[in-house]
Amino acid sequence: MEQFLGFAVPGIPYGCTYALVAVALVLTYRATGVFNFAFAAQAYVAALLFTALIQSAHLSEWLAFVIAVVVVSPLLGLAFDRLLFSRIPNSNNMAKLVTSISLLVGIPALMQVFIPQNYYAPPSIVFNPNTVYFTLAGAPLNGLDMSAIVFTALVLFAMGVMMRLTPLGLQMRGAVESRRLVQLDGVNAGGVVAVAWMISSFLAGFAGILLAPNFSQVQAQPFLTLMVAAIAAAACAAFRSMAVAAVAAVLIGVATFTLQGYLPTQSFLFTSILPSLPFLVLVGALLFHPGMRKLDQATDPLASVDPPLPPLAAAVRTPAMGRVISVLWYVVLGLFIVSMLTWIPRDWESVLNQGLAFSTLFLSITLITGMGGQLSLAQAGLAGVGAFTAAQLANHLGLPMMAGMVVGAAFAAAVAVLLAVLSLRLRGLGLALMTLGAALVFDNIIQSSQTLGGGSGGLGPMNNVDWGSPFGLLNPNGHALFLATFSVLVVVTLAILMIRRGTVGRLLGAMRGSETAAAGIGINLTWQRILIFALSGAVAGIGGTLLVIQQGVANPQQFNYVFSLAFVVIVVTTGVTTVEGAIQGAFGYVIIQKLLGYAPAQFANLTFVLFAFGALTYAQHPEGILEFQKRRSMQRFEPLFERLFPGSQPDAGSQGEPLIAGGLSEEAVRG
């Protein structure tokens, strides 16, 4: 017992910081319908700002606290609400998810651009970190622990009092019980939602400065871990009860530390499973908590269908223009191939090769999200499954990488199918969290295992195996690698275009449009879902292997879940519904990355900032900002073409009465 408590007690302070964020998650989700992944980023911003104000601006702790946590954090939340989330129609779950994920990806990157210094840990507030205030069952509680426990307790208590006793609290409680009521209550809806955002952002900021002193430097990583634990805790409460979420959060902290104490430090359980504990909790909640299956389900009488995407640029252009553009495409393609083989310098050739590999990887997102309508946050992980399979087969069995790629693709597809089967009943947010959990479990296993993932340096060719074999075909020093990668991309692209045009594409289109009606005409949704996961997994596996061949080493870092999130953000920016979208996203990504290499180091992260801000337009332009621009510029050129080729009309019109307006008014009549 003594030993147990000795292990368990140090988990409480961590559990407290998780609790603050978990409560914040539940509060915003219930009151506004937004699941805000970005709280991790907000916690990080608060911690960084707090530290910078103290260490660079030499403000007093208290002033720094007031500015970072009491003023800036809530304002940031308010800004998110007013500028972004309040403009997204309530029914558009995909847009809400994409927006909050882009904030999660973009904000830490932006901070690193503006505040590039490394800061040491900030002081803990009020309590002295070097003093042991009390010993609980033999476990010493120092000032850091004390401030986490005491302030969490105070803040949550104050919140409880406010929710119960003040009129504002009552309204918020109303919002938490039924956000519909608040929204229907015309006068106060916006205000209550804004207040909910401010309070939850305050909680996240507070969690940030309570957590930061535990780490030697202020970096983004611990805040992502914090986020994951908080999500798991909130999931235990089915995103419903703040009290349950807070208790679950503390228990997760305690359980982690207890297991850490008991498990042998070198064991697989210790290194791989323990860090995944929050995910296992999350996955467990998703699978077994009945409340989680109801997330995002349209039981809501006011929910309406997502506004349909505008027709693709390709669909609205005049036939003459279409012909000219497709000829141009071939010309560009030809120039690209010739240039790659002749004048492009070696370092740029390898960058563009990477672009080809990323294009393949990104096409897996086109498949699952663009065609299948499912948001998956595990694509980098699936790419990693394929890549490491191929690399291990090459190292241990001497299998050529190209053959390994096929096996890796099959294995990644199998993992994706397993994921699909586990998440058959989940939609939207539930599915996003499930795939995120899977990506994290993969990360922890591959990163912590020297044998599987090659440790921190990654897994390179071993046992005198040459990854470039046979015949040096894949040797990164020749044009052959370009030709091989390019051919694979062409094959994958053609396959996807065929599928999209064929029966499977049509059936998926139906499923995307309305699952109810799709099942009603005899489409087996389960099977379609498994199929699209398998295809997407296979393509991701191929892309991952190409990337690894190109780089000559399989590095677990390259496939971690942050990339899964970032990739979705990138593809959504350039257009998730078209094949060009993925390819443009990939080339944009590698080229910007390369160009930023010439700038000072702090700008390296600007790529993610750019794409994240691009993705924030998703709510307005779900077809992708690039696609939107294409359509606009095409409309500008149209008159010219009309004059050159009179009599050619656009194929499809996009004017007319929008469907939702009709649907809504009809609902109103019924209601």
Partner 1 sequence: MAEQGPLLALRGVAKAFGGVNAVQDITFDVQAGESVGLVGPNGAGKTTLFNCVCGQLKNDRGSIEFEGRSLRGLPTYKRARMGIGRTYQRAEVFADMTVRDHLMVAERARSRAGRLWKDLCNMSRPTDEECEKVEGTMALVGLTELADTPVSALGLGNCRLVELARALAGEPRLLLADEPSSGLDEHETADLAAVLRIIQRDRGTAVLLVEHDLGIVAEVVDRAVVMDLGSKIAEGSFEEVMEDPVVRHAYLGQSV
**Rule CB under 8 A: which residues touch partner 1?**
305-306, 308-309, 311, 495, 498-499, 501-507, 509-510, 512-514, 516-525, 531, 651-659, 662-663, 666-667, 670
Instruction: Answer yes or no: are the C-beta atoms of 85 and 179 closer than 8 Å.
Output: no
- Report, in Å, the least distance between residue 523 CB and partner 1: 5
Cβ proximity to partner 1: between 18 and 621 the closer is 621
- Report, in Å, the least distance between residue 527 CB and partner 1: 9
Helix 93-114 vs helix 561-574: crossing angle, to nearest 10: 110
Cβ proximity to partner 1: between 509 and 552 the closer is 509
- Report, in Å, the least distance between residue 513 CB and partner 1: 3
- Of 641, 660, 664, the C-alpha closest to 306 is 660
SS3 649: coil
Cβ proximity to partner 1: between 360 and 555 the closer is 360
- Report, in Å, the least distance between residue 175 CB and partner 1: 23
The whole-angstrom distance between residue 46's C-alpha and the CA centroid of its chain comes to: 21
Cβ proximity to partner 1: between 87 and 501 the closer is 501
- CA–CA distances in Å: residue 186 to residues 86, 178, 197, 669: 14, 14, 18, 19
SS3 459: strand
- Report, in Å, the least distance between residue 345 CB and partner 1: 37
The whole-angstrom distance between residue 109's C-alpha and the CA centroid of its chain comes to: 14
Alpha helices, H only, 166-241: 167-177, 179-184, 189-211, 221-236
- Report, in Å, the least distance between residue 299 CB and partner 1: 11
Helix 525-551 vs helix 379-397: crossing angle, to nearest 10: 60
- Report, in Å, the least distance between residue 111 CB and partner 1: 38
- Report, in Å, the least distance between residue 507 CB and partner 1: 6
Burial of 337 (C-beta count, 10 Å sphere; 0-12/13-18/19+)? middle
- Of 505, 538, 487, the C-alpha closest to 361 is 538
Q: Read out DSSP for 81-144? A: IIIIGGGS-TT-HHHHHHHHHHHHHHHHHHHHHH--SPPBPPPPSSS-TTSEEEEETTEEEEHH
Cβ proximity to partner 1: between 291 and 505 the closer is 505
Instruction: Answer yes or no: are the C-beta atoms of 474 and 468 closer than 8 Å.
Output: yes
Residues whose CB falls within 8 Å of the CB of residue 339, separated by 6 or more in sequence, listed in order: none
The whole-angstrom distance between residue 529's C-alpha and the CA centroid of its chain comes to: 20
- Report, in Å, the least distance between residue 204 CB and partner 1: 35
Cβ proximity to partner 1: between 24 and 531 the closer is 531
Cβ proximity to partner 1: between 71 and 410 the closer is 410
- DSSP conformation class of 368: I
What's the token pair of residue 423? Answer: 């998440």
What's the token pair of residue 243? Answer: 């009290």
Determine the Cα–Cα distance for residues 503 and 368; give it in Å rounded to an integer. Answer: 16
Please report, as a single letter, which amino acid is at residue 482: F
Cβ proximity to partner 1: between 150 and 303 the closer is 303
- Report, in Å, the least distance between residue 654 CB and partner 1: 6
- Report, in Å, the least distance between residue 658 CB and partner 1: 7
The whole-angstrom distance between residue 325's C-alpha and the CA centroid of its chain comes to: 34
Please report, as a single letter, which amino acid is at residue 282: L
Cβ proximity to partner 1: between 557 and 654 the closer is 654
- CA–CA distances in Å: residue 622 to residues 261, 373, 617: 48, 12, 8
Cβ proximity to partner 1: between 138 and 502 the closer is 502
- Report, in Å, the least distance between residue 483 CB and partner 1: 23
Cβ proximity to partner 1: between 410 and 525 the closer is 525
Cβ proximity to partner 1: between 460 and 513 the closer is 513
Q: Read out DSSP for 190-204? A: HHHHHHHHHHHHHHH
- DSSP conformation class of 374: -
Cβ proximity to partner 1: between 145 and 580 the closer is 580
Cβ proximity to partner 1: between 186 and 671 the closer is 671
- Own/partner contacts of 241-247, CB < 8 Å, gap of 24 or more, are 241/26, 242/23, 242/26, 242/27, 242/159, 242/176, 245/19, 245/22, 245/23, 245/25, 245/26, 246/19, 246/22, 246/23, 246/156, 247/19
- Report, in Å, the least distance between residue 503 CB and partner 1: 3
- Report, in Å, the least distance between residue 362 CB and partner 1: 20
